[in-house]
Amino acid sequence: MAKTFSRPKCLSEQETHYCPGCTHGIIHRLVAEAIDDLQISGRTVGIAPVGCAVLCYNYFTFDFQEAAHGRAPAMATGIKRVRPDLIVFTYQGDGDLASIGMGEIVHAANRGEKFTTVFVNNTVYGMTGGQMAPTTMPNQKTTTSPFGRNVEEVGMPIRVAELLASLATPAYISRQAAISPKYIVRAKKAIRQAFQYQVEKRCFSFVEVISTCPTNWGMTPADALKWAEKTMIPYYPLGDLKTPESVKEE
Ligand SMILES: Cc1ncc(C[n+]2csc(CCOP(=O)(O)OP(=O)(O)O)c2C)c(N)n1
């Protein structure tokens, strides 16, 4: 029988610690496939976040550096500026990137730093027990919004991709989803494209990936996928928000 699928070279054999139904593992795979495909593993450095993906350096075979909570863009800036020959990316959750680290990502994007960010939006702080994040949906129950996110008190969820796409400098801003095969195929293309732009020195490049957290959402993995599609995608529309071509047309 023909083998149609195998483990990307950039993924280690280590089993992940993620909960059943979590999409971090899928997104790791898409990153690994992109790095394999572009043949850049020997010069790639990832910056791990503080969050559920804190141990992601165990799952990739290329180099990784751990950053303080939300500070991955600062570390990526330093590494890339000192070693512009390296391919540098940050991998960050919504608590890490859109809460404590919001200032870091906005300024790195606006400076046009020559690295790539993979932003995993699962609407909660997964690692610490499912607290409300800037991306939590209106009326969504979390451990710190037990009656649902009250938008009168805390405002509407932040659309990070749109916010960064409003800046003049970044080259590539995209939002994708890892919640069903049809979306994953597109997410794979966008993540590869984001790294390709970095290889071509066209940056800042950024891909938000709509994700799930069945454990903290209190749902089965199957229900979490359905909820993400029904509730998140209408508010967080998918597709490229900004490309180097769209910048030229402005
Ligand atoms: C300075 C600092 N503040 C707070 C924390 C606690 N903390 C650890 S992970 C985390 C949030 C992680 O959520 P997210 O970035 O959405 O990633 P996920 O776990 O959902 O993948 C927080 C607040 C910390 N480790 N360091």
Mean pLDDT of 192-205: 97
Binned at pLDDT 50, 70 and 90, residue 1 comes out as confident
Mean pLDDT of 239-244: 97
Q: For residue 54, how far is its CA from the centre of ligand 1 (angstroms)? A: 9
Supply φ then ψ for residue 77, to 5 degrees: -60, -50
Binned at pLDDT 50, 70 and 90, residue 65 comes out as very high
Closest ligand 1 atom to Cα of 49: 15
Instruction: Give first-to-last CA distance, the chain, whole Å.
Output: 51
36, part of any domain: yes
14, part of any domain: no
The CATH number for 63's domain is 3.40.50.970
Q: For residue 118, how far is its CA from the centre of ligand 1 (angstroms)? A: 16
Residue with CA closest to ligand 1 atom 9: 51
Average pLDDT across the chain, whole number = 97
* DSSP alpha helix (H) spans, the chain: 24-38, 72-82, 94-95, 102-111, 151-154, 160-165, 181-199, 214-217, 221-227, 233-235, 244-249
pLDDT digits (tens, 9 = 90+) for 214-240: 999 999 999 999 999 999 999 999 999
Determine the Cα–Cα distance for residues 179 and 12; give it in Å rounded to an integer. Answer: 23
176, part of any domain: yes
161, part of any domain: yes
Which residues form the domain of 57? 24-249
Instruction: Work out the percent of the chain whose per-residue pLDDT is above 90.
Output: 95
How many domains in the chain? 1
- Residue 55 predicted with pLDDT over 70: yes
141, part of any domain: yes
Residue 134 token pair: 């800037």
pLDDT digits (tens, 9 = 90+) for 97-137: 999 999 999 999 999 999 999 999 999 999 999 999 999 99
- Residue 249 predicted with pLDDT over 70: no
Determine the Cα–Cα distance for residues 215 and 188; give it in Å rounded to an integer. Answer: 25
Mutate to test the pocket of ligand 1, among 17, 66, 96 (most ligand atoms within 8 A of CB): 96
15, part of any domain: no
pLDDT digits (tens, 9 = 90+) for 147-194: 999 999 999 999 999 999 999 999 999 999 999 999 999 999 999 999
Q: For residue 119, how far is its CA from the centre of ligand 1 (angstroms)? A: 14
116, part of any domain: yes
Mean pLDDT of 63-78: 98
What is the three-class DSSP state of 158? coil
Mean pLDDT of 37-65: 97
8, part of any domain: no
